[in-house]
Amino acid sequence: MTVYPSDIYGFLGPNGSGKTTTLRILCGILLPDRGEVSVLGQNPASQRGLLRQRINILPESHGFYGWMLAGEYLRFFGRLYGLNLTDTDCRMHLQQVGLDSADRRPIRTFSRGMKQRVGIARALLNDPEILFLDEPTNGLDPKGRRDIHDLLLSLNREKGMTIIISTHILDDVERLCNRIAILHDKKIQYEGTLLEEPAEKARTKSGLESTYIACTEKGKQQ
Amino acid sequence: MKLMTLIRKECIEDIFSSRGAALYLVGCGVLSVFSLLLVSNTELSLLDNAQAVYMMAGIIMSLALLISVIRGSDGFAGERDRETLELLLITPVSAVDIGIAKLMGTFVSWLIIFLLSIPYLWAVGSTGQNLWPAFIYIFIAGSFLVLIFGGFMLGLSARMKTFKEVLSIGLTLFLLSASPVILGPSLRQSGIGRLIDHVNPFGSALNMIDSVVVDSQNISFQLPHLATLTICTIFALCFLYATTRRVEL
Amino acid sequence: MKKSFFPDLIFITAIILLFPAHCPAAGNGSVHVNLQRPAGTLTMGDTPVFSGTVTNMGTKTSQGLVVYLSLVSLKTGKEHPVDLEDWSAQKAVRINRLAPGETNRQEWSMRLIQAGRFGIALTVVDPLENRPIISDLVHFDVQQKATVSSARILPVAAGEPLLLIVIFALFQWRRIRSRRE
């Protein structure tokens, strides 16, 4: 699996196919049993400190310190990245993900969608070169999903941020990704590009759907 | 700055969470009940001040041990259960730093318990002997116990998956450590009892306080106890370092 | 009011039973043991020092003598031996060798943890003798002193948990207020 700079890379696969494990290995949280991993030219297992300053992740199921206020939460993680965020900075980061005037609310009072947005705001704190997102639109309403899609596209266009999205929601992939990999049975069954032209794009969903089903069915037959 | 941020978070979490508040209130409640027993029970009310201070010191040491076991077990395993560990592990902070911050958080909890216990110690021991040495030695002994048991439990917590697993081991350890004291003086006089008393940090801490407060013995008598506590602390901190060098989910 | 001697008689009998080989202070003729109480009034919490001497009056050297204190409570009607566990860290002494005419002096420090009337004696056991040698019973009174005062304890025991609750409530209130600002 190869991801190029400024890619929005879709990482697809059914539940239990190893998507989350792969992302954790790429972030250096888990050690691979075998094989080689290189992220931004560095080994995530041995050069964790340096690498983590340049990447960030939104895990699929991530808890929160519910007693913290949203602004306090961002300030806490900001400090861990060496940033001294002011109240204005925190408000700005929350506004970016559509959470206006929520910085003084305790996170335990947030809905699931709001928590997901706080999580995304946290993942963007260190302005990462590579952003790993594990099921980023989980728990979001349609407008919320659209807002997050727009945010990710603008980050990619304006800052050239490389984004790796692990999901099984094909609509997210279709709207966001230029390249994809389909994982099944802990193996990459397909890796390729999604077409950009509108005429082709109209066909892409059905094309992507059939590719996805073919890959996952193939795995089952094997 | 990063380490201080983590320590600050541990302390604030302790104060603002219901768990932290409950722990301090329970600690205060236990000390209050014991103090009231001292004045309401005729036999206990005739106890010598030093003896009353020593008995209270035993309760304070048990609280220190309990805090270490609970907070140590919760350290990594609790964060893992609450799914917040992954977020900490992906930051540029090393897991060793996270472990140190959590140990410092436990130490601050002990400091709060110690400060809360000072008025009780004064109330039962101000007209007796050795109150000031009692303050000093209770603080020293409690600090050692927190570093030993807190460090060991945090190390286990880094390697084991759930809070419940670690806590069950911690509570067993708590009972084993306190067993020579529970068994009473006669069994402690036996060869094995004496050996356990010498290697058991909890026993050493209590013996040291007994020796200072009740028997008014000077520091030279405390050196074997201090040696046991220091060796156990070094082992516990090495264990914590070794287990947190690589923390996985 | 005339005091009955009957309890004292019982106690003297108890002492004789407790120390079956009770002998006069002069001992059996070869070893002499003596115990002196400190002067003045004794009060709970005091740590008086009793002075004990063991003298070899015989012509042979005594070896391996064990010297220990025995304490009895002489409260009328409730006479009983007292466990020295909390009274003294120094419970027994071994004298390796005591030459003829030689005197061994020991200071026995006690911590008075209970009020009442007490008797204390020093016993010497010579491994070559059949009977222990016991000093005269030294009587002393310990004046009561309230060690644990309710005037100090009650405010702390009741006040501190309440204070803690108030402090936690204040913390929470400040936090809620800061959210609203």
**Contact call for residues A25 and A32 (beta carbons, < 8 A):** yes
Question: What is the domain partition of chain A in residue ranges?
Answer: 1-54+128-222, 61-127
A–B interface: beta-carbon pairs under 8 A: 66
Give the residue carrying structure tokens 């230029």: A178
- Asked if A7 and A163 touch (Cβ cutoff 8 Å), the reply is yes
The residue among B23, B26, B32, B118 with the most chain C CBs within 10 A of its CB, best to mutate, is: B32
The H-or-E segment that residue A54 falls in is: none
Q: What tens digit of pLDDT does each residue of C92-114 get?
A: 889 999 999 999 999 998 888 78
- Sign of the C-alpha dihedral, residues C41, B216, B37, C74? negative
**Does residue C21 register a pLDDT over 50?**
no
User: How far is Cα C121 from Cα A92, in angstroms, rounded to an integer?
Assistant: 85
Q: Which of A139-148, B45-54, B116-125: highest mean pLDDT?
A: B116-125
Please give the interface size between B and C, counted as residue pairs whose CB atoms are below 8 Å apart. 96
Q: How high is the pLDDT of residue B148?
A: 96
Number of structural domains in chain B: 1
pLDDT per residue over B16-70, tens digit each?
777 788 889 999 999 999 998 888 776 676 677 888 899 999 999 999 999 999 9
CATH code of the domain occupying A1-54+128-222: 3.40.50.300
Q: What is the mean pLDDT of residues B130-155?
A: 95
Judged against a pLDDT cut of 80, whether residue A151 lies above it is answered with yes
pLDDT, one tens digit per residue, over A167-192 is 888 888 888 898 888 888 777 888 88
Q: pLDDT value at position C170?
A: 87
Report pLDDT for C143.
86
d(CA B217, CA B226): 14
Between chains, do A30 and B248 touch, taking CB under 8 Å as contact? yes
For residues B227 and B114, give the distance between their C-alpha atoms in angstroms, rounded to a whole number: 23
Give the Cβ contact number of residue A79 at 10 Å.
Answer: 21
pLDDT of residue A206: 59
C123 φ, ψ (degrees, to nearest 5): -115, 140
Give the closest-approach CA distance of B6 to chain C in angstroms. 20
Which residues, listed in sequence order, are joined to residue C80 by a DSSP beta bridge?
A: C73
**Residue at B224 is within a domain:** yes
The pLDDT-based confidence of B120 (bands split at 50, 70, 90) is very high
Residues of C with Cβ-Cβ distance to B35 under 8 angstroms = 153, 156-157
Contact B124 C148 (CB under 8 A): yes
Mean pLDDT, rounded, of chain B:
88
The pLDDT, as a whole number, for residue C2 is: 42
pLDDT band at B85 (very low <50, low <70, confident <90, very high): very high
Q: State how far residue A205 is from chain B, nearest Cα, in angstroms.
A: 33
In one-letter notation, the amino acid at residue A107 is: I
Asked if the Cβ–Cβ distance from A76 to B92 is below 8 Å, we say no
More confident position, B195 or C21:
B195
Please tell me if residue A115 touches chain B, with a CB cutoff of 8 Å. no
B131 CB near a chain C CB, below 8 Å? no
Q: If we measure between CA atoms, which residue out of C122, C141, C140, C142 comes closest to residue C132? A: C122
The answer to whether residue B228 sits within a structural domain is: yes
Interchain CB contact of C177 with A (< 8 Å): no
In the structure encoding, which two tokens stand for residue B221, read together?
């008598």
- Chain A CB within 8 Å of residue C180 CB: yes
Q: Find the closest chain C residue to A68 by CA distance.
A: C175
What's the whole-number mean pLDDT along residues A77-82? 94
pLDDT above 90: percentage of residues in chain C: 39
| Residue B217, domain member (yes or no) | yes
**Contact state of C152 with B217 under an 8 Å Cβ cutoff:** no
How does pLDDT run across B172-211, given as a tens digit for each residue? 988 888 776 666 666 667 777 777 777 889 988 998 998 9
**Residue A205 pLDDT > 60, yes or no?**
no
Chains that touch C (3 or more CB pairs under 8 A): A, B
Any domain includes B249? no
Q: State the complex-level ipTM.
A: 0.84
Q: Is the pLDDT of residue A211 over 90?
A: no
* Test the C interface: residue of B42, B112, B124, B131 with most C CBs within 10 Å: B124
- The pLDDT assigned to A200 comes to 52
Whether the CB of B186 is below 8 Å from some CB of chain C: the reply is: no
Interface with chain C: mutation pick from B24, B28, B53, B116, highest number of C CBs within 10 Å: B28
Which of the four pLDDT bands, split at 50, 70 and 90, describes residue C73? Answer: very high
Task: Give the gap in angstroms from C-alpha B70 to the nearest C-alpha of chain A.
Answer: 18
Q: Which residues of A touch C171 (CB under 8 A)?
A: none
Rounded to 5 degrees, φ, ψ at C106 are -125, 140
Domain residues for the domain of B199 are 2-244
Contact assessment for residue A194 and residue A204, using Cβ atoms and an 8 Å cutoff: yes
Q: Which token pair is C58?
A: 């015989």
Contact C47 B36 (CB under 8 A): no
CA distance A179 to chain B (A): 25
- Summarised one tens digit per residue, pLDDT across range A49-58 is 788 889 999 9
What single-letter DSSP state applies at residue B210?
A: I
Residues in chain C with CB shorter than 8 Å from the CB of A105 are 179
Closest CA to A161 of A139, A176, A174, A143: A176
